[in-house]
Amino acid sequence: MAWRFKASKYKNSCPKFPKKEDWITDISTGRLLQSFGNHIKANAFYMVFNVDNLGGGALGILPLNSTGRQGPDLPLLSAHSDYVADFDFSPFDDNLLITGSHDCTVKLWQLPSSSKNLKNSLNLNSQIVCTEERKIENVLWNPAAEGILAVSSAESVRIYDVSSCKKSLSLDEHSDMVQGIAWKGDGSMLATTCKDKLIRTLDPRAQTACQELKGHAGQKESRVSWLGNKDMLFSTGFDSVRQRQLFLWDLKNPSSPVCTHSMDTSPGVFIPFFDDRTNMLFLVGKGDNTLRFLEYTDRTPHITDVAADRTEQIKGAAVVPKQALDVMKGEINRLILLIKNAIIPTPYIVPRKSYREYHADIFPEVPNGQPSMQASEWLAGENKPLELMDLNPSKRAPLTLRAHNLNAPGSNSITNASDSVDPSKEKKLLKCDSSAENEKKSTADLSIENNKESTINSCTENKSKPANDLSENNKELTVNSTENNKESTVNSSTENSKVKGPLTPKSQRRASETIMQKIDSLNAAIELSHSPPPQRKFQKGNCVLDSKKYEEKDNDVFSDNKVAEDAKTEHSQQTRKSCNSMEETKNSLSEEVRETKDSENENSMKNDDEATPSNSSCTEDNSTETDGKASKIEAECNSKKDEKECLSETPKVPNGAIENKICKGKVKEETPEKTVPAKKSVSTPSRFINIRQLKFKHLKATTLNKEHHIENLKNLSRNIPGESDLFQVNQKRCAVPLSTTGGCVAIFELNKPCRLPDCGIPSLQHGTNVTDFVWDPFNDQRLVVACDDAKIRVWNIPEGGLKDSVNEPEFMLIGHQEKIYFVRFHPLAKDILASASYDMTVKIWDLTTQEAVIELKGHTSQIFTLDWSPCGKKCATVCKDGKIRVYEPRVSTEAIKEGTGPSGSRGARVVWTLNGKFLVATGFDKMSQRKLFLYDAQELGAPLDIVELDSSPAILVPHYDEDSSTLFVTGRGDGTIFTYEVTHEAPHLNQLSPCRFSNLHQAISFLPKIACDVSQVEFAHAWRLLLTHIEPVSFKVPRVKSNFFQDDLFPDTRVLWEPALSGSDWLSGVDAEASRISLKPGNMESLSKAPTPSTKQKKYDSTDPEIFKTDEMKKKELIGAMTSKLDVREDPLEQDLTEGVDSDEWEDIFQATQEHSKASKPFYLHIPCSRSTYLTLVTNA
């Protein structure tokens, strides 16, 4: 039969859409941002999908077979601080999930081993795999090699070896943004689609592009997929007239596609899913409501349309692995469709008459889920096929969760020349280090480091393992078998001390003191080995890791992982041996002390103060040996103490006390505290490193109700220079510039929200253009306005607000020669104002005398911004010449420090943080991309930290809340407020949850801390200026016990709404600190003093204690009733009174039977059973 007449076994496959009650409904997927990911992924046990919670930084996690309404009980994983662009399940470990986000980080997550451990808010272990300079767009595991991960960011693709946590390969062949990546079925090749309209096939291990194919002509996104192990590709995209296309490529002839399949003009991007076992191709378009099924054949026409089924509008889709299919119902494939607020599982069924038997003809063998090679083999250039398995339920093991353990003992990991000392040999997941400098350590240096730290490492490594797996220098502590070395050291020194002869009293005392110091060091090391590890930050290269303690939960995570358990047991045995060797070393030293004491006593009794030359030499040699031995262990024990913030100090017992105990014959050792073994839970696996928790990470911005809004705002001026903040508020009123003639500034009372009239709004009229304005922080009625006529006008707003327009200020400040950029009030001193002008000078004014008292010089170009330090002694400026300067106005009119600031000429801002220790500047790079720069205020050298945000022409305006150390940044025309927590340790700028709004704002202004409603856990309060209205925004932190005052979030705050000193005092050199007050309301109790919750009594209890009986009481009554009915009889039983017959009587019976057996008549036989009873038998002849 010709091939064209051969019917396909899958041509009649059709989707079986479930009923609506079998959908997964009520999930937050209504507003997902655009990304190159599929928005949903699935393995044999879990499904993970994007949700719009936390600004898109959270993921929803559900068991694969979930159904029904989820609602607020949906398990959420707060994965990143920004939108999660892509994620992927490990093909060999059902517990591992990789995520990539727009916060430029890639994280590895350990999921629970049981769906019962999925909770509303998941607290899972995670590990930062890498941190890129640009947003992460795609993450994808290698389908054949374990631990090989591809990550795309901007124009580059990186290959990471997650098992040893190294950036192994880098592919920079692209000239524009990478839109999609796909691995070949055997994991040997990588295909990418790019915004430059080229499709590239790459050999990652050669780090070169093999071929470049001219892709789709459209400007929109394109996707690519391999045809299994074949050298053929599918690509989807758009042509020049926005018509969707499907191309089939043969890499043997890359000049043009083998087949072109054109479809409709819908804007949705096609996501291709190809099943290389059945040649079924599914095309799912984002935003489409049609699910397309096509088939591939080796001969023309290659692609055949089979079916197109309509469903709900699709946001994303995923394919379930073959192992999870219900093959006994003819399920050949299963798609999971993500729609608005719901998920639809869609199985494709091959129709058969009966499903009682397994149909082997439609189910080919599939990969068994085990890697064909390790990362080291793949990186070495090897290619191995995957092992296959039969889907027949009777021939395969039941489906269980595969905890393959990426770095479990026994798995082959990367090996290199320094394996003997490489911490990666422990086969644990480490914090990724992309720094080439740290990778070039020589073997000699590492071996010296290991020998130096062997004594402490052997005991401290496993004790600290459940909570943290990295040492203070960000290297994993490895257990080295050093028992022989330590024993030989002690034995050799002991033998030398015996051979060398007796010691003089002076040398004995010196040797005793040396050994006692050594015992103290060992005591510290032993106590350290039993103490929990300190929490701190680890930094290595460009990757930074924070650690914290997680609560122990999910106790059954590693119950199925016997390999890891065996390795853990073996590891703990090695640790016990190493600790025992340290105890033996200490005991031997104690013996030496005792011998030294005894010999010292004997010599003192003989009064032998003279030493012979031989004895002197012996003394010197022995003291040298003792000192050498002491120095060895001293170095071992102090190797960790030399590192900064390495370990907590261990109290030492005074030498005299130990000597007294030794003289009695025993060395009294401090008993270490008994430690409870860590439970096997999600939080305890050693191959994961915990991320530090930020108190304000999940802050939430809420817009108050419309009744608090000021609406119908018209003629808002948007021509105010970029150096101005455009909008200012205080506790009573706000100031808004209007675009009417005459430079008007409207004043609105915040306690009178209303709908403004269409015209006739009272305002301050200046007769010229307004450049900037600011409220006096100590006087809510004073407004200072700078204009382009080089004058500063000071207005006094009457109580109750403006009734009519006013054109005469209280007074004016005249002194600048050109128009003014901005004005800034002093944070502590009253009536002190700073202003900057186009004449490149900064003047400091005393409003009391209405004169300029100080003029700061040194700027060579336009001054972008100025900010006073929290202490009020200094001020910082950023200039167009790319310099950041720090002035101390009362000391010098020239800059006392100068450094390189943000480049570019579009504008910048600066703000002091952490009580004046750091400066945070916002600006642009040479590519006009917005960035944050953090500087050390004492050095002003290179930035300590740089955070890249996005590309936008608006200048980022910062606001720093010193009580929470939270930095808010946003710009004109933005719809998002980016938030960061500034810390002393690197990384200094820790991104918090961004605050996204449904509309765009022009500016935002914050109120003083006193305006916050701390009873609602509000730590910041601001007002947003929009084009047509003004609305209040509340920034809160979610807390469980919100009825208590959260004293851990609200420390005593500085009173910045009252002056700390007068302007004249400040000018005369007086400094003052702002007073502090507590924000705690009088009717609230502090959270730290909250009582322990007790069991609540029932409000209504209808049970009568006299008649109410528990189940135990009922059980006892039933047993008592049964036993009472049983009679207790003490008389003997009937069989006990029965007596047997004599043996003679049995002989007579036997003889009678013999005689009558010869007769033909029946006879009667009476058998005596007792003395009074007989058994009569009637027999025939």
Is there a domain that residue 769 lies in? Answer: no
Neighbouring-strand partners of residue 792: 786, 813
| pLDDT top residue among 760 and 227 | 227
- Average pLDDT of span 308-312: 92
- For 754-774, the pLDDT digits (tens) are 999 988 899 999 989 999 999
Render pLDDT for 91-110 as a digit per residue (tens, 0 to 9): 999 989 999 999 899 999 99
Q: What mean pLDDT do residues 56-60 have?
A: 89
Per-residue model confidence as pLDDT tens digits over 1083-1132:
898 988 888 776 666 666 666 666 777 888 888 888 888 888 776 667 77
Distance (Å, whole) CA 53 – CA 194: 30
Token code pair at residue 904: 């570019």
Taking residues 522-550, what's their average pLDDT?
41
Range of the domain at 1157: 1143-1179
pLDDT of 591 higher than 70: no
* Together in a domain, 369 and 459: no
Pair (331, 456) in one structural domain? no
Residue 725, pLDDT > 60, answer: yes
User: How far, in Å, CA of 769 to CA of 820, rounded?
Assistant: 11
Q: What are the φ/ψ torsions at residue 129 (nearest 5 degrees)?
A: -75, -45
Alpha-carbon torsion, ordered 606, 607, 612, 617, to 10 deg:
90
Same-domain status, 894 and 983 = yes
Q: Residue 987, preceding bond cis, omega within 30 degrees?
A: yes
Model confidence band, residue 269 (pLDDT cutoffs 50, 70, 90): very high
Residues 369 and 464 both lie in one domain: no
What mean pLDDT is reported for the chain? 78
263 and 370 housed in the same domain: yes
Mean pLDDT across 31-58: 89
pTM above 0.75, yes or no: no
- 1071-1095 residues labelled b (16+ CB within 10 A) or e (exposed): eeebeeeebbeeeeeebeeeeeeee
715 domain residue, yes or no: no
Specify whether 457 is located in the same domain as 347.
Answer: no
Least confident of 67-76, 325-334, 826-835, 1171-1180: 1171-1180
Instruction: Please tell me whether residues 365 and 455 are part of one structural domain.
Output: no
pLDDT at residue 623, as a whole number: 41
Final residue of a structural domain among 341, 356, 375? 375
pLDDT at 29: 85
Per-residue model confidence as pLDDT tens digits over 187-212: 999 999 999 999 999 999 988 888 99
The model's pLDDT over 1030-1042, given as tens digits with 9 standing for 90+, comes to 999 999 999 988 8
Decide if 735 is inside a domain: no
Run of H or E including 92: none
Domain count, the chain: 4
DSSP for 667-710, written as a single string: --PPPPPP-PPPPSSTT--TT--PPPPPTTTT-EEEEPPGGG-B
Note the pLDDT of residue 476.
36
**The Cα angle at residue 51 between residues 344 and 931, in degrees rounded to 5:** 145
Instruction: Judge contact between 102 and 85, C-beta under 8 A.
Output: yes
Long-range CB pairs of 1134-1140, under 8 A, 24+ apart, other chains included: 1138/1170, 1139/1170, 1139/1171, 1140/1170
Identify whether 1073 is part of a domain.
Answer: no
Q: Is residue 220 part of a domain?
A: yes
Given 647, 663, 679, the domain boundary residue is: 663
Across the range 226-245, mean pLDDT stands at 93
Whether residue 932 is predicted with pLDDT greater than 50 in this model: the reply is: yes
Closest CA to 587 of 666, 488, 686, 484: 666
Same domain, 458 and 351: no
Count H helices and E strands in the chain, helices first. 10, 68
What's the chain's Rg over C-alpha atoms? 41
- pLDDT, position 438: 40
pLDDT band at 1003 (very low <50, low <70, confident <90, very high): very high
Which of 63-67, 615-619, 718-722, 948-952 is predicted with the least confidence, judged by mean pLDDT? 615-619
Q: Are 354 and 457 in a shared domain?
A: no
Q: What is the pLDDT of residues 344-392, one digit of tens each?
A: 999 999 999 899 899 999 999 999 999 999 999 999 999 999 999 999 9
Per-residue model confidence (pLDDT) at position 496: 40
Nearest to 341 by CA among 312, 362, 371: 312
Shared domain check, 462 and 321: no
Domain end: 945, 968, 1001, which one? 1001
What is the model's pLDDT at position 929?
87
Nearest partner of 96 among 169, 146, 151, judged by Cα: 146
Q: Is residue 1083 part of a domain?
A: no
Examine the pLDDT at 646 and tell me if it is beyond 90: no
How confident is the model over 244-250, as a mean pLDDT? 94
Asked if residue 955 is part of any domain, the answer here is yes
Residues 161-192 as b/e (b if ≥16 CB within 10 A, e otherwise) read: bbbbbbbbbebebbeebbbbbbbbbbbbbbbb
Residue 63 has pLDDT above 70, yes or no: yes
Alpha carbon distance 730, 744 (integer Å): 19
DSSP-derived pairing of the beta strands 388-389 and 537-540:
unpaired
**Rounded mean pLDDT of 928-933?**
90
In the chain, the N- to C-terminal Cα span, in Å, equals: 89
pLDDT above 80 (res 408): no
- pLDDT digit string, tens, across residues 492-535: 444 443 333 444 444 445 555 555 555 555 555 444 444 444 33
Query: How far is the C-alpha of 657 from the C-alpha of 661, rounded, in Å?
Result: 6
pLDDT bucket at 1149, cuts 50 / 70 / 90: low
2 pLDDT above the threshold of 50:
no
- Identify whether 827 is part of a domain: no
- Both 103 and 239 in one domain: the answer is yes
User: What is the CATH classification number for the domain harbouring 937?
Assistant: 2.130.10.10
Q: Could you tell me if 476 and 371 lie in one domain? A: no
